[in-house]
Amino acid sequence: MSLLLPEILHTQSGQIRQVGVELELTGLSLSQLTRAITDTLGGTVRPVSAYEIEIVGGPFGTFRAELDFDYLKRLARAQAEQQPGDLEQVATDMLGELAHQLAPLEVISPPLPLNELEPLERLFTRLRQMGAKGTRHALHYAFGLHLNPELPDLSAETLLRYFKAYLCLHDWLDSREAFAPARKISPFIRGFGKDYCRQVLALGYWPDLARFTDDYLADNASRNRAMDLLPILAWHDEQKVRRAVRDGKVGRRPTLHYRLPNSDIDNSAWSLRHAWEGWLQVESLANDSARLDQVCRHYLVHLDNLTPDFIAPWKTKVVQWLR
C-alpha cells in the first residue's frame, strides 16, 4: 500500500516536491548497514572515511551511511589523507569502538519525490530483519527519524503557515510518539516556549523573512528543536544564522527539519508511515487558511488558560480539527 500524499504535491515551479529522510539506529556494523542499502536499493559503495560511506549510482540518488560522531569522522578524514602512526591509529580505533556503543549509525537519504517513498519502507524492513535496533533498545539511546520536507514555495507566508500549523499540532504529534525516557529528557527535540508560541500564533504576525529570522534567532539560536528552522533560515541568510548560532552542524538547505519522531526500527508495528501520516496533518492544516486561523485562535486561548494542562490537555482538544 502506497503512502498517502499531501494536498499540495508540486512546487510553485511545477516539480514534484521532495523530502529527505534520516534514520538513527544501532545493532548493525557500518558495513552491514551499507550492504542493506546496496542490496535493497542498488548503488555502489564509495568510502569517505572509516566512519562515512556514500552509496552512489543507484536509481534513487546518493545515500549516506555513517556513524553520528562528528569528532571521530573529522579525525578519520584527516587520517585518510595522511598515514597515521601506530599509536594514533590504535587510539582512533579504540575511540571508534566506544563510539559504536554510544552513538547511533545514521542512514541519510537523498531528496526523494513525495510520491516515491516506498523504497525507504523496503529499506527499513530489511534493516529490521538484519537486527537493527531503535531508541527503546537501551536506556541511554535517544534515536530519531528526521523528515526534511520541501515546501511548496520559499515565501515567508508559506513558511509561517507551516510553522504555525506545526506549533498548533506539536502536543498532539508529541503524544503519538510515546518517547523512551532518554529521548524525552534529551535536548534534541525541545519544543518552543509559550511566549514565543504566542508571538508566532498571533493573528497579525506575518513578518517578512528578515524580521522572522531575527525573531526566531532571538529565542531559538539552537538546533535542538523538534522543528528546527535553522537550515531553511540559513538558506535565505546564512551569515545571519551563523552569527547567532555557533554550531558547525547547522546545514543550509531549502527544507524544514522535523526531528520529533522516534526511531523504532526494531518494532514490527512501526514504519515510516507513522511519522509521515503525522506530518501530513501539518500539511493539511497549513494549507487550509480558515481552519488554521481557527486553531490558532483556540490555541492562544488555551495558552492563556489558568486550568492546568493535565486536566484539559491541548493534545486532546486539537483532535477535533484534524483531518
- pLDDT of amino acid 101: 55
Query: Do the Cβ atoms of 262 and 145 come closer than 8 Å?
Result: yes
Element (H, E) at 19: strand 18-25
Q: Residue 228: which residues within 8 A CB-CB, separation 6 or more?
A: 256, 257, 258, 259
Long-range contacts of 240-244 (CB under 8 A, 24+ apart): 240/213, 240/214, 241/213, 241/217, 244/217
Kindly report the backbone phi and psi dihedral angles of residue 311, in degrees, each rounded to the nearest multiple of 5, phi listed first: -80, -45
DSSP helix/strand/coil, 52: strand
- pLDDT of amino acid 93: 53
| Chain centroid, CA 87 distance in Å | 38
Q: Per-residue confidence of the chain (323 residues) as pLDDT tens digits? A: 589 999 999 999 999 999 999 999 999 999 999 999 999 999 999 998 888 999 999 999 999 999 875 644 454 565 555 665 444 544 445 544 544 555 789 999 999 999 999 999 999 999 999 999 998 887 667 899 999 999 999 999 999 999 999 999 999 999 999 887 778 778 889 999 999 999 999 999 999 999 999 999 999 999 999 999 999 999 999 999 999 998 888 989 999 999 999 999 999 999 999 999 999 999 999 999 999 999 999 999 999 998 888 888 999 999 999 99
User: How far is residue 298's CA from residue 169's CA, in Å, rounded to a whole number?
Assistant: 12
What residue type is assigned to position 217 of the chain?
A: L
- pLDDT of amino acid 90: 45
The residue count of the chain comes to 323
DSSP helix/strand/coil, 166: helix
User: How far is residue 75's CA from residue 79's CA, in Å, rounded to a whole number?
Assistant: 6
- Output the DSSP codes for 246-286: --TT----SB-EE--SB--TT-TT--HHHHHHHHHHHHHHH
- pLDDT of amino acid 178: 81
For 191-236, what is the HEC assignment? CCCHHHHHHHHCCCCCCCHHHHHHHHHHHCCCCCCCEECHHHHHHH
- pLDDT of amino acid 169: 98
- Output the DSSP codes for 83-102: PPPHHHHHHHHHHHHHHHHH
Kindly report the backbone phi and psi dihedral angles of residue 106, in degrees, each rounded to the nearest multiple of 5, phi listed first: -140, 135
**Residue in the block written with cell 552509496:** 55
